[in-house]
Amino acid sequence: MDKCSFCGRNKSQVNILIAGVNGHICDKCIEQAHDILKEEFQDKDNFNEEFKLQKPKEIKNFLDQYVIGQDDAKRYLSVAVYNHYKRINKKNYNNKEDVDIEKSNIIMVGETGTGKTLIAKTIAKMLNVPFTIVDATVLTEAGYVGEDIESLLTRLLQSADYNVKKAEKGIVFIDEIDKIARKGDNPSITRDVSGEGVQQGLLKLLEGSIINVPPQGGRKHPDQKYIQVNTKDILFICGGAFDGIEKKIGQRLNTKVVGYAASKNIHKIDRKNLLKYIAPQDLKAFGLIPEIIGRLPVLTYLNPLDRKALRNILTEPKNSIIKQYTELFKMDKIDLIIDNDALDYIVDKAIEYKLGARGLRSICESIMINDMFDAPSKNIKKLRITKKYAQQQLEQNNKELIA
């Protein structure tokens, strides 16, 4: 009886059995072979097909659609990202000189809610590369309670659907990098397992080496199967508030002031925004080890958000908060109208709470929660939010929280 030369199924067990010179193949084996070939070619061509590297100006123009202000940070990141992916595609530029270009990992310093995570997320969205956000506060040295450093690569693999080649061209955003600063220079009987210990562990990832990654995350153990990931082409973007670093910057700037002529320069310093003068030595004074600073060569800062910037964030970006709420109500066939003085009131409250841009969202949520609950069940076509109404709703919800 004729049977498939690959899987051994009889003719009666398959739909089609195709005869060859010295054997047969069934329809199921053909489908399986097709899937294998498709996956194989996808692995090779996926990155080149989907990835289109834009010039620095084009990257910044894209960021401008989603991120208000922060021009300096956007310029630094646009150049760093462009150079990084140009380095990966070096073979396409036909350079005969064999020059090794090092990675341009990035560190961003800025207050909470100024847009560090948003900038990194927007760049990954534009480039269409795997992207993951990891919180540095949960990382500890291997063998201690917490997550292993390799777990951040597990998350990158998950976002790339375990396509290793694709993951190796991705972006990892390490948030709260300031929380792993060295706790102090004084020797202690206890180990700094979530501070300097994590910094030491991150060195090999940032620099570029082959890492054994547990596929499902969690703790490593001897019998576990690992996925090998090469980090030499993974771009690491680190962000942190570095609360109190202004004092370190101020001390450094003041130590350089000597004599009458130098004292004139003090007045030129913008005391309200010392972050713009940040330098690698300030990160070292804060508690980052020199080795990790050296592996994060691109250092940039984000300006504190003033009233004008917060007002623009509410309405201007492509996915602004107000546009999101308008779209949500539109799905229920309700037109949402928010008065300008109500928007100004939301901004004033955000400044009062000192939560940056993310404070805008929570304030809007408090104001509109009752309408979002009731309106879909009512037969209304239009909803208008005035300043007086916004004030009433926010005060009412605050009282309920206090009670």
Last residue of one domain, picked from the residues 269, 301, 333: 301
Same-domain status, 36 and 160: no
User: Highest mean pLDDT range out of 266-275, 352-361, 372-381?
Assistant: 372-381
Longest distance between any two alpha carbons in the chain, whole Å: 104
Contact predicate 159/137, CB 8 Å: no
User: Is residue 277 assigned to a domain?
Assistant: yes
C-alpha dist (Å) from residue 96 to 82, 100, 101, 288: 21, 12, 14, 38
User: Is residue 241 assigned to a domain?
Assistant: yes
Predicted pLDDT at 391: 93
Beta-carbon contacts of residue 226 (< 8 Å; ≥ 6 apart): 212, 213, 214, 215, 220
Predicted pLDDT at 143: 61
Last residue of one domain, picked from the residues 250, 269, 301: 301
Please give, one letter per residue, the 3-state secondary structure of 180-207: HCCCCCCCCCCCCCCCHHHHHHHHHHHH
Q: What is the CATH number of the domain that holds 355?
A: 1.10.8.60
Per residue in 305-330, is it b (16+ CB within 10 Å) or e — as a string?
beeebbbebbeebeebbbeebbeebe
Predicted pLDDT at 189: 46
Same-domain status, 44 and 90: no
Q: What is the pLDDT of residues 145-198, one digit of tens each?
A: 667 788 889 989 999 988 999 999 999 999 999 988 876 655 554 566 667 888
Same-domain status, 46 and 70: no
User: Highest mean pLDDT range out of 45-49, 191-195, 214-218, 232-236?
Assistant: 232-236
Q: What is the pLDDT of residues 387-398, one digit of tens each?
A: 999 999 988 877
Same-domain status, 46 and 121: no
Proportion of the chain above pLDDT 90, given as a percent:
37
Q: What is the DSSP string of 23-64?
A: -EEEHHHHHHHHHHHHHHHHHHHHHHHH--PPPHHHHHHHHH
| Strand 210-213 to 227-230 pairing | antiparallel
Contact predicate 332/378, CB 8 Å: no
Same-domain status, 178 and 85: yes
Total of domains in the chain: 3
Q: Residue 380: which domain range?
A: 307-402
For residue 111, the one-letter residue type is: E
- At residue 17 the predicted structure's pLDDT band, cuts being 50, 70 and 90, is confident
pLDDT, mean of residues 383-388: 94
Last residue of one domain, picked from the residues 275, 301, 327: 301
Q: What is the pLDDT of residues 54-94, one digit of tens each?
A: 899 999 999 999 998 899 999 999 999 999 988 888 755 65
Same-domain status, 286 and 314: no
Residue 396 structure tokens: 């009412």
Q: For residue 39, how many other CB atoms are within 10 A of its CB?
A: 11
Same-domain status, 376 and 393: yes
**Which one has a higher pLDDT value, 52 or 277?**
277
Beta-carbon contacts of residue 314 (< 8 Å; ≥ 6 apart): 320, 321, 322, 343, 346, 347, 360
pLDDT, mean of residues 119-124: 90
User: Is residue 5 assigned to a domain?
Assistant: no
- At residue 215 the predicted structure's pLDDT band, cuts being 50, 70 and 90, is confident
User: Is residue 281 assigned to a domain?
Assistant: yes
Same-domain status, 245 and 99: yes
User: Is residue 79 assigned to a domain?
Assistant: yes
87 CB burial (10 A radius; 0-12, 13-18, 19+): middle
User: Is residue 171 assigned to a domain?
Assistant: yes
Rounded Cα–Cα distance for residues 346 and 361 (Å): 9
In the predicted structure, residue 49 carries a pLDDT above the cut 50: no
In the predicted structure, residue 263 carries a pLDDT above the cut 60: no
Same-domain status, 114 and 181: yes
DSSP, collapsed to helix, strand or coil, labels residue 122 as: helix
In the predicted structure, residue 23 carries a pLDDT above the cut 80: yes
pLDDT, mean of residues 365-384: 91
Please give, one letter per residue, the 3-state secondary structure of 256-290: CCCHHHHHHHHCCCCCCCHHHHCCHHHHHHHCCCH
Same-domain status, 124 and 71: yes
Beta-carbon contacts of residue 265 (< 8 Å; ≥ 6 apart): 257
Same-domain status, 280 and 392: no
**Which one has a higher pLDDT value, 403 or 58?**
58
Rounded Cα–Cα distance for residues 212 and 144 (Å): 18
Q: What is the pLDDT of residues 285-306, one digit of tens each?
A: 998 999 999 999 999 999 888 8
User: Is residue 6 assigned to a domain?
Assistant: no
In the predicted structure, residue 401 carries a pLDDT above the cut 50: no
Predicted pLDDT at 185: 55
Same-domain status, 212 and 359: no
